[in-house]
Amino acid sequence: MEGPGTQWRSGHGWTGVPLVMPIDPKEVSARLRSDGSKTALIVEQRRIGGRSFIVFLEHRYFAPGTPRNEDFQLLRIVWMEAVWYVALIPTAVVSIADELAKSLGLRRADGTPLCISSQGTERFPIDAPNAWTMENVPGHFAYRNDPALGRTAEQLENDAIDKVLAETKARVLAAKRGATS
């Protein structure tokens, strides 16, 4: 079992409260290797476009409050002093995630994160052939390392995420009211 920062969430359900439980990344890796029906998409929380990717992927394609949401699992892993999100989605719909990533200036990079230091190398806790790291596309403005541009991008991303979450909340509450009428 990894440290206390490792969590698993499967769907929101009607309450909007995430279901969180400890996970064993080695178990997730083994499951990914043995069953190709799921693909893991890994993104570091601070990557420009990364948080939007995770939120939009779930809320647009695996909407909370719908049966489809059960096909979306989200893991939060603290590794190398950074927060990483891992979305597990059906392999059959990876092309949807690829199109969304492209629209946000992201792409699937080969493999999972690897830390190289003076102590050697350390692989990301989840590592399987069907696990991919999301990175910004070549030439993306994120590689300019411009703090002002980064802050502007972060604010725009936060605004877009807030809008999507508000839309989901309104839809779920409307569905709840309709179910109790």
Mean pLDDT to the nearest integer, 102-121: 92
Separation between Cα atoms, residue 77 and residue 83, nearest integer Å: 6
Phi, psi (deg, nearest 5) at residue 25: -55, -30
Asked if 33 contacts 112 with a C-beta cutoff of 8 angstroms, the reply is no
Prediction pTM value = 0.83
Q: Residues 28-39: pLDDT tens digits?
A: 899 999 988 999
**Whole-number pLDDT of residue 177:** 85
Distances (CA, A) of 140 to 5, 24, 43, 156, 159: 30, 34, 16, 16, 20
Q: Residues 80-104: pLDDT tens digits?
A: 999 999 999 999 999 999 999 999 9
Produce one character per residue of 77-108: b if its CB has 16 or more CB atoms within 10 Å, e if not: bbbeeeebbbbbbeeebbeebeebbeebbbbb
Residue 125 has pLDDT above 90, yes or no: yes
Asked if 106 contacts 49 with a C-beta cutoff of 8 angstroms, the reply is yes
